[in-house]
Amino acid sequence: DLEQDLRTVSAACRQHGKFGLCIAVGTEMFKMCRNLGFHLIVYGSEVRFLAEASAAASKSAREMLK
Is 32 in contact with 6 (CB distance < 8 Å)?
yes
Spatial separation of the C-alpha atoms in residues 9 and 48, rounded to whole Å: 26
Q: In 1-66, which residue ranges form alpha helices assigned H by DSSP?
A: 2-15, 27-35, 46-65
d(CA 3, CA 55): 34
pLDDT of res. 48: 75
How far is Cα 9 from Cα 22, in angstroms, rounded to an integer?
Answer: 10
Per-residue pLDDT of the chain in tens (66 residues, 90 and over written 9)? 899 999 999 999 999 999 999 999 888 999 999 999 999 999 877 777 788 889 999 999 999 998
pTM over 0.85, yes/no: no
